[in-house]
């Protein structure tokens, strides 16, 4: 392993001649293979190696993590080419992330590390009280996982750490999918209170880190629209919008999802809230369920759809936009006159403008007149990197429908 504490012993990665380096100098955190001189020496670097990035004139640009087997060959770790990437560096970065979240939230339940935006390229970490679930989705973070783990373990109140290696991003970095508890003990479900609702997080068997914190603000907005209302939450996962609506005073909520385990967690959350008599769960393909409801003339005061990423990459964009349009068309037909429609996307390839256009087409094809009331994004525990559009992946839009 490279001596990451010393810049003198690091290998050098160099930009190609005449390559415009302003993008990197102005903050871009990724360097692509076609921007670099990749000779036999650099191609032999072990994935995760820490190196110094230079322009073709040998002027240093910063300290990077290297993986020549990935499309993103270099990930910027620090603009200082002489910085020591050691235990202190990890600890300082982690503590900076903690300090910001503690100023934002009353309880330690939040996204703790949001990858590049928090200065940890490819790393995701969510905090659930005294437990942290971390996804080291880049080779450098896997290679130096012990330093990352120790920095997380030093946070006041943290007793347990779970390593989640199930992300698709790890495969693209050539990493394994072996997950497990790496500190302390974790068993059972963890109740998480947000917006007055209780969600049950399965940190070992659930999706990704066990719970999605990114929709917290949009859940709250949806709940405000749902007082005394009948609510349909499609692609509900563990009951994100449905449980928030019940906490906000909804008359009833129906949660639709294809995952039986996720719906079981939604039911357990409703039971913990004392609202199980107002929740109905329905397992099935979301499109089939909505088609059936439309055919039977079913209407709700509020319909909210939060599907998976239909456009996870640029090649999938057009197909994904057609899927979002279909969701909007079906969902709009289920909204009672004067009711509300919420549509969400976590596809970074579909920006807010393209996503809204697809939704507007779907609502129009449903024969509905709409007023756009609110546009939301992920909360402040999911900060956006100014030079990385992918970090602003989440869109949530809410309409009032007439006709």
Residues carrying CATH 3.30.750.80, the chain: 87-183
- pTM for the full model? 0.93
Task: Note the pLDDT of residue 2.
Answer: 45
Q: SS3 breakdown of the chain: % helix, strand, coil, rounded to 5? A: 35, 30, 40
Give the CATH fold of the 87-183 domain.
Transcription Regulator spoIIAA (3.30.750)
- Two tokens at 237? 């996962």
> The domain 192-402 belongs to what CATH superfamily?
Vaccinia Virus protein VP39 (3.40.50.150)
> Do 337 and 402 contact (CB within 8 A), yes or no?
yes
Q: Can you tell me whether residue 183 is helix, strand or coil?
A: strand
DSSP 65-100: EE-TTSSEEEEEEES-TT---SHHHHHHHHHHHHHH
Task: Note the pLDDT of residue 278.
Answer: 98
Residues carrying CATH 3.40.50.150, the chain: 192-402
Residues carrying CATH 2.30.130.10, the chain: 7-78
Q: Per-10-residue mean pLDDT for the chain, 403 residues long? A: 60 94 94 94 95 96 96 96 97 98 96 97 97 97 98 98 92 93 96 97 85 96 97 97 98 97 97 98 98 98 96 93 98 98 95 96 97 96 92 94 86
Task: Note the pLDDT of residue 9.
Answer: 82
Task: Note the pLDDT of residue 175.
Answer: 94
The class (CATH top level) of 7-78 is mainly beta
DSSP 327-339: HHHHHHHTEEEEE
255, 305, 346, 359: which one is catalytic?
A: 346
Question: How many CB atoms lie under 10 A from the CB of residue 80?
Answer: 12
In the residue annotation, 359 being an active-site residue is answered as no
């Amino acid at each position: 392993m490279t001596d990451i504490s010393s810049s003198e012993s690091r290998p050098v990665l160099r930009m190609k001649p005449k390559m415009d380096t302003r993008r990197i100098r102005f903050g871009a955190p990724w360097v692509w293979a076609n921007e670099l001189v990749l000779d036999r020496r650099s191609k032999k670097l072990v994935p995760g190696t820490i190196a110094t990035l230079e322009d073709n004139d040998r002027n240093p640009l910063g300290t990077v993590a290297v993986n020549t087997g990935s499309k993103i060959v270099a990930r910027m770790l620090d603009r200082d080419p002489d910085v020591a990437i050691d235990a202190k560096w990890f600890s300082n970065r982690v503590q900076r992330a903690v300090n910001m979240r503690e100023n934002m939230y009353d309880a330690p339940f939040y996204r703790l590390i949001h990858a590049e935006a928090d200065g940890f390229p490819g790393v995701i970490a969510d905090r659930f009280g005294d437990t942290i679930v971390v996804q080291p989705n880049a080779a450098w973070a896997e290679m130096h996982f012990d330093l990352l783990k120790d920095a997380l373990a030093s946070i006041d109140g943290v007793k347990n750490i779970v390593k989640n290696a199930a992300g698709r991003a790890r495969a693209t970095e050539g990493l394994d999918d072996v997950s497990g508890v790496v500190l302390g003990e974790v068993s059972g479900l963890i109740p998480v209170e947000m917006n007055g609702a209780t969600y049950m997080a399965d940190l070992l068997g659930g999706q990704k880190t066990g719970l999605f914190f990114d929709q917290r603000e949009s859940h709250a907005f949806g709940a405000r629209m749902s007082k005394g209302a009948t609510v349909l939450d499609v692609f509900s996962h563990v009951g994100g919008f449905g449980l928030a609506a019940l906490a906000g005073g909804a008359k009833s909520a129906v949660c639709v999802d294809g995952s039986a385990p996720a719906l079981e967690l939604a039911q357990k959350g409703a039971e913990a809230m004392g609202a199980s008599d107002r929740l109905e769960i329905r397992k099935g393909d979301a499109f089939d369920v909505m088609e059936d409801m439309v055919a039977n003339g079913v209407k709700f005061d509020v319909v909210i759809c939060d599907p998976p990423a239909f456009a996870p990459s640029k090649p999938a964009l057009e197909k994904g936009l057609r899927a979002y349009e279909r969701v909007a068309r079906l969902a709009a037909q289920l909204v009672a006159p004067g009711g509300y429609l919420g549509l969400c996307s976590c596809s970074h390839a579909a920006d807010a403008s393209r996503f809204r256009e697809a939704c507007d087409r779907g609502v129009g094809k449903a024969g509905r007149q709409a007023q756009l009331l609110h546009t939301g994004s992920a909360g402040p525990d999911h900060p956006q990197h100014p030079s990385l559009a992918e970090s602003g992946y989440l869109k949530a839009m809410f309409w009032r429908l007439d006709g």
